[in-house]
Structure 1
Amino acid sequence: MMDHEHAFELLPAYIDQELSLSEALAFERHLAGCEECQRVYEQHRQVSAQLKQADLRVDAPAELLKRIEAALPLPRPRPLWQRLGERVGGWFGGGGSGGVPGWAPVGAMVLSAVALTWSAGLYLSVPSSETRLTQELVDSHIRSLQFDHLSDVISTDKHTVKPWFDGKLDYAPPVVDLVQQGYPLIGGRLDYLDGRSVAVMVYRYKLHPINLYVWPGKDASATPPRIVERQGYHLAHWTTAGMNYWAITDAGEAELNGFVTDLLAHPAS
């Protein structure tokens, strides 16, 4: 159960709708049974609503506007492509009719090449969807450790964990018992990844928690496990039986590989 101190820490983020799905659900469960937290929440909510009212806006004095304008930086230099275009026009200008340089098409081609190169650079600098998802998983794993919120349902029994997800998701996540293999199940929770709610089964290897994220894949094709390292954590990703699987832990690569191998070899419930 969430205590007062934890609830107070999460309250501003809850009002601003910045919590994950599992954090918001835990906060709401605490709020429903705590009069003190309800009173503080209502006070914060009223203050937030008042700050958004239009009558709180005032026009800045003219003297203040002058001081702000004076403090603003000087105009930025013109973009490189614009200065390059003028330079090209100077090199090839003067030969066309009507004041249009005879080499204007060449200048336009150079500008187009510059713009294309600049656009390609922007495209290549945007992280891929898998890179963004990997970072989401690392952030989710870290949050679950920082807020001591590994599990919404705490149980070593898969027949308790699996039914807990009923009605909370639009799919039934497979749950596997690996206690005999040295990876005991300790619970499960809801999280939000890749734009949807997902199931998380929580296992443990010695003192190392392992978060196993599971949600339906876009197709039924299977891909073998692949392990990567990000920010000191090891992540494994694979697909099978139409489901996406991601596992993350601070244990070593060999330990994570053993977990994945045992999981794939064990029949799911």
Structure 2
Amino acid sequence: MSDPEKEGCAEWTVMLHGFVDGELDSVHAAEFESHLATCPDCTDEMERLYAVRRRIGQDGVKWQAPEDVRSRIMETLSLADRPASPIPRDVPAETGWQRLVRFVRQWSYVPSLAALAASLLLFVNVSRQDLPVQDEIVASHVRSMLASHLVDVETSDQHTVKPWFNGKIDFSPPVVDLAAQGFPLVGGRVDYIDGRVVAALIYRRHGHVINLFVWPGPPARQTTSTHEGYNLDGWSGGGLSFWAISDVSAADLSAFRDDFFKQAGL
């Protein structure tokens, strides 16, 4: 069967899954339906996804978790139900979000449990509106790596990444090539932060991932911080807000910020 990602339709893959799940708005749904009319590969893939959904929706079809996985989940849940030990006055209480991130980190190193960790981040009953924007950035950064959804368009060509965002977001993010500075471009994707769809540009530094989130915003002072073990750099320019996050050193992330700011002409 044809694979649309191998046939030049990689840019439609995310939209295809959103269409099947009924998550596209009317504009993008109509755009994708027009594409389907001329693309047999995406049509075949869509039918395959519908067939899978029908199969797993039948009575008696279920996945039985291995006993060791089930035991570890039950043990974790039982620990969550235990009365909390008194916290010394000089030690700040751990927030619910901090407990979630710590749980994901503990489980995510086991390959067979990575999907479980990603699902917890995607579906945990936490109100995003109540989270500071730094928490949302950490969540999106961790989720992008755990859920194998780091990029929607994978290329080091800035002239391919920038136009890919056309029609997917309502602004044009600057995309620059920083390979000469030691920060090669990996690609881009769309994400959701602070109540809106944003652009995410992905760079690397010696094997480490840097997620750079961009969205329209008023001028703001430069912010440098460490959050949940990750370094964050926030700045603004050209009517846009920028947030870079990574586990690289603070010095490397600051160098990335300065290089990006200079190359983008902000």
Distance 1:15 1:167 in 2: 20
200 and 171 in structure 1: CA distance in 2 versus 1, 3 angstrom threshold: same
Alignment equivalent of 1:39, drawn from 46, 51, 57: 51
CA contact (8 A) 1:237 1:245 kept: yes
Cα offsets for 1:99-124 (capped at 9, x unmatched): xxxxxxxxxxxxxxxxxxxxxxxxxx
Q: What TM-score do the two structures reach when normalised by structure 2?
A: 0.55
Tell me which stretches of 4 or more aligned residues in structure 1 moved more than 6 Å: 127-130
Q: Which residue pairs with 1:140 in the alignment?
A: 140
- For residues 10-25 of structure 1, the aligned pairs below 5 Å read none
130 and 249 in structure 1: CA distance in 2 versus 1, 3 angstrom threshold: farther
**1:167 and 2:167 correspond:** yes
CA RMSD of aligned residues (A): 3.4
- For residues 1-269 of structure 1, the aligned pairs below 5 Å read 33-34=44-45, 35-42=47-54, 132-217=132-217, 219=218, 221-224=219-222, 226-268=223-265
Structure 2 unaligned segments of length 5 or more: list them.
7-16, 24-31, 33-40, 60-126
Q: Which residue pairs with 2:66 in the alignment?
A: none
Distance 2:240 2:152 in 1: 22
CA contact (8 A) 1:178 1:263 kept: yes
Q: What TM-score do the two structures reach when normalised by structure 1?
A: 0.55
CA contact (8 A) 2:175 2:264 kept: no
Structure 1 unaligned segments of length 5 or more: list them.
3-10, 18-24, 49-126
CA contact (8 A) 1:177 1:185 kept: yes
CA contact (8 A) 1:198 1:213 kept: yes
Distance 2:55 2:132 in 1: 37
43 and 260 in structure 1: CA distance in 2 versus 1, 3 angstrom threshold: same
Q: Which residue pairs with 2:85 in the alignment?
A: none
Identity %: 40
CA contact (8 A) 1:223 1:240 kept: no
Q: Which has the larger radius of gyration?
A: 1
User: CA shift at 1:246, angstroms?
Assistant: 0.5
Number of matched pairs:
169
1:248 counterpart SS class: strand
CA contact (8 A) 1:215 1:243 kept: yes
User: CA shift at 1:32, angstroms?
Assistant: 5.2
